[in-house]
Amino acid sequence: MFIQKKATGRMSGIIDLDALMTWPTVTSRTIPLPGRSARVRLETAVWHGLDDIARKERRPIQELCRDVDASRPSNTPLTSAIRNYVLDYYRQSVIR
């Protein structure tokens, strides 16, 4: 994708956004949940964050995902709830 930049002094021309941005890689994992298994597709960075949290908390990822699944509102997708969990975990660690 190319964007035409407004000419301002020395900074004029076209910017190639694809060259500036790295699009996230999405990976799928199957997570066993009570009564079912869920195939979860998340960005690799989110999986790395979840792996790190599991290591720090000394809990398996499946257990973390079970807790997230049990506490999420019924109208919230599991993937969104996991993303929010990882983000909130790291936000809280900065605040502490």
Domain layout of the chain by residue ranges: 24-95
Q: Where are the beta strands (DSSP E) in 9-91?
A: 11-16, 26-33, 36-43
Token duo for residue 88: 């909130």
The predicted-structure confidence for 45-89, as pLDDT tens digits, reads as follows 999 999 999 999 999 999 999 999 999 999 999 999 999 999 999
pLDDT at 13: 62
Question: Strand, coil or helix: what is 6?
Answer: strand
Token duo for residue 41: 């597709």
How far the first Cα of the chain sits from its last, in Å, is 41
CA dihedral 45, 79, 27, 32 (to 10 degrees): 120
Token duo for residue 90: 């790291």
pTM of the model: 0.75
Which fold would CATH assign to domain 24-95?
Answer: Ribbon-helix-helix fold (1.10.3990)
The predicted-structure confidence for 4-20, as pLDDT tens digits, reads as follows 445 455 555 666 766 77
